[in-house]
Structure 1
Amino acid sequence: MDKCVYLVEDDSDIAYIIQFLLNEEEINVIAFSTIKSFKNFNSHHLPDLFILDVSLPDGNGMQLCNDIKASSKYQNIPVLMLSAHCNTDVMKKNTAANAYISKPFNLDHLLSTVNRLIEKQYPQ
């Protein structure tokens, strides 16, 4: 598995489904259930993609997205936002994410979006 995704998702069932789906496509997933656990993770390996939930127990995924995009370390890595409570128009207005998917999501759509972003083909 040479491709890697960092997933910040507090719903363990959704995180499991995403991990399973992407692992089947030979994409490694490192999952975090909180912003704090993501920020405390110390890795020299950069991911190919971030997948962020909007509603997290210790903060807002939209702010985390903007922090990632403002970081010189991560700014060129695409971000996919997921939300059950925030519509895509609000996410587009308030984040610099490269793509947006509302929950519940279609697995094929998620997979095609992930592959498109990993290949750095951003326009939706």
Structure 2
Amino acid sequence: MSNNKYKVLIIDDEANIRSFMGAILESNGYQVLTAATCAQGKMMFSSHCPDLVLLDLGLPDADGTDFIRTVRAAGGAAPILVLSARSDERDKVQALDLGANDYITKPFGTGELLARVRAALRDRRPGPAAPGECFQVRGLRIDYDARDVSLDGAAVRLTQTEYNIVALLAQHAGKVMTYSAIIQGVWGTADAGSVKKLQVNMANIRKKLGARPGENPYIANELGVGYRMYGE
């Protein structure tokens, strides 16, 4: 058995997929648990308390979203990464809104899978930042107490709304946040122009963070779904 502290539960009805992902994870030091159905996945999750779940949505006995809903309703906080052949935006939004941390469309590369796993296993800081806490990724630094943002040591002048967006994304670094979750967290309510308002603010933020067209140095744009602050 691996000495790595992280246990990963793979829930997928295809034996070859379970075997393939299991081999990749085990060769990188993770402990692997597997389940072929939603019911088995719930049982394994309850009895083994994995650190992370890789979940297929197309399970034979129930949709994978039922697993997400059940685990989150019971207070389970382990990151859930959906790995699915479904590429429809609505499926992604539903899974993320129910509590999935990320959504990877099949087929995917080994490097991407491992990177997403590493990101999900890092401290997500899901609640408000603790007093004196700072966030740093590459050259970007956020001092929550002072509400200051700097880039390579130089101050970045953000509006109050822009700062609130950046701070919220940083507190959930590595996790895809849907448009609705960001809007709720920043404005507290939604109106007909909320998504456009968010996109305008995000364009200003990325410009102030020095992003050139086509680049995502700090904040990834999950098209049609939301945004993700990189965790490293």
Please confirm whether the aligned pair reaches a TM-score higher than 0.5, indicating the same fold.
yes
Question: Which TM-score band (shorter chain)?
Answer: 0.7 to 0.9
- 4+ residue runs over 4 A deviation: none
2: CA distance, partners of 1:116 / 1:20? 19
2: CA distance, partners of 1:2 / 1:93? 31
Is 2:139 aligned against 1:87? no
- Other structure's SS at 2:99 match: coil
Name the counterpart of 2:224. none
Structure 1: gaps (5+ residues): none
Is 2:115 aligned against 1:112? yes
2: CA distance, partners of 1:107 / 1:5? 15
Aligned residues between the structures: 121
- 1:1-124 matches, within 5 Å, as 1-41=4-44, 43=47, 45-72=48-75, 74=76, 76-94=77-95, 95-120=98-123, 121-123=173-175, 124=228
2: CA distance, partners of 1:34 / 1:93? 20
Cα pair 1:54 1:86 within 8 Å, conserved: no
Q: Relative CO higher for 1 or 2, CA cutoff 8 Å, sep ≥ 6?
A: 1
2: CA distance, partners of 1:36 / 1:11? 15
Cα pair 1:88 1:101 within 8 Å, conserved: no
Q: Percent identity over the alignment?
A: 28
Cα pair 2:42 2:67 within 8 Å, conserved: no
2: CA distance, partners of 1:77 / 1:35? 16
- Judging changes above 3 Å, is the alpha-carbon distance between structure 1 residues 86 and 65 closer, same or farther for their aligned structure 2 residues? farther
- Pairwise CA distance, 1:4: 0.3
- Pairwise CA distance, 1:98: 0.5
Computing the radius of gyration over CA atoms, which structure comes out larger, 1 or 2? 2
- Judging changes above 3 Å, is the alpha-carbon distance between structure 1 residues 6 and 88 closer, same or farther for their aligned structure 2 residues? farther
- Other structure's SS at 2:83 match: strand
TM-score with structure 2 setting the length: 0.49
2: CA distance, partners of 1:96 / 1:40? 19
For residue 63 of structure 2, what is the amino acid of its counterpart?
N
Greater Cα shift, 95-104 or 62-71: 62-71
Structure 2: gaps (5+ residues): 124-172, 176-227
TM-score with structure 1 setting the length: 0.87
